[in-house]
Structure 1
């Protein structure tokens, strides 16, 4: 598979079966999972049966993957992942942006750098017309990344994830 994207410091790559331990470590960091599932641990079986199949999905409208294991370019250290997933597998018009980085990568601009690069690629090469992202309203760090990459607050909605409202942000090219 050809290189999808490279930034100054990041080297996203397709996930493989060999990434189970990376995903397990990431999903068992209570700080990383705080706003996702309340910090509950994830089992190896759940990573293999639920997470990895989603991460290996090939999207017809992009003719590529939508989840990207992301490493630091020079050290090859696993940092986490990004997702750039069309809401409809057969149309790249509206794409959801997401990211999950290990806490060791926080505060270093990686989420902003990767998100900006994906948004640019989407609008300039992939036929994307709108990018959306969601986060818990109380997740100020994630909201700040979304704002820095040009997404605009759209609405607050209530979901049955954790007892806190979520925010939706979006951007159009």
Structure 2
């Protein structure tokens, strides 16, 4: 996977992802085009200012010639904009279109983002969190070597009773990543 800056031609497939109920199953709402474009604008501005953030994903796998060069969502690093017991922090996250699921793309891209976090940015810890019902993303977190302590699970600041309010939290510190993480660069 290639992690790169956003391009104008990414907007249409990204908007399609935000309107896909399968992709957005574990998010509070679908995104309309304006909200989707706003997210792209914020992500690209953060990348331009800081050199890290939510990168656009592109398939760069020569073993997948039909997908080579195809936009495949995003992955990267972000600062959550809500307060919780574990904030402030930096999280690693991803969102891929349904056609890209089950191919290892999220894990590969998140590994590259973690490498950036610990090597390039110099972070000491990265977290990841998702709705308790999102077992696919939790499996990616486990493959990344992130650890969950159920005592740290939390209620996302969604309205009381919202089906996505219960969240799980995973952590990975730089020392553990250096010792244990399997990355393509090693």
Please report the TM-score for the alignment, with normalisation by the length of structure 1.
Answer: 0.80
Q: CA deviation at 1:87?
A: 6.0
8 Å contact from structure 1 (residues 17, 52) kept in 2: no
Quick check: which one's strand share is greater? 1
**Cα deviation, residue 36, structure 1:** 0.8
1:141 equivalenced with 2:142 (yes/no):
no
What 5-or-longer segments of structure 1 have no aligned partner?
A: 1-9
Q: Does 1:158 align with 2:151?
A: no
Give the aligned partner of residue 5 of structure 1: none
Tell me how far 1:103 sits from its aligned partner: 0.8
Question: 2: distance between equivalents of 1:123 and 1:52?
Answer: 24
Question: Would you identify which runs of 4 or more consecutive aligned residues in structure 1 move more than 3 Å?
Answer: none
> What's the counterpart of residue 46 of structure 2?
58
Deviation of 1:94 (Å): 4.4
Q: Residue 15 of structure 2 contacts residue 33 of structure 2 at CA under 8 Å; is this kept in 1?
A: yes
2:5–2:47 CA contact under 8 A, matched in 1 = no
Q: How many residue pairs get matched?
A: 156
Hey, what does 2:169 align to over in structure 1?
168
> Superposed, which structure 2 residues align to 1:42-121 within 5 Å?
42-48=31-37, 50-58=38-46, 63-73=50-60, 74=62, 75-86=68-79, 94-121=89-116
Using the alignment, how far apart are the partners of 1:163 and 1:156 within structure 2? Answer: 15
Relative to structure 2, which stretch is displaced further, 27-36 or 114-123?
A: 114-123
CA RMSD of aligned residues (A): 2.3
- 1:119 Cα deviation (Å)? 1.1
**For 1:83, what is the secondary structure of its paired residue?**
strand
* 1:59 Cα deviation from its structure 2 partner: 5.5
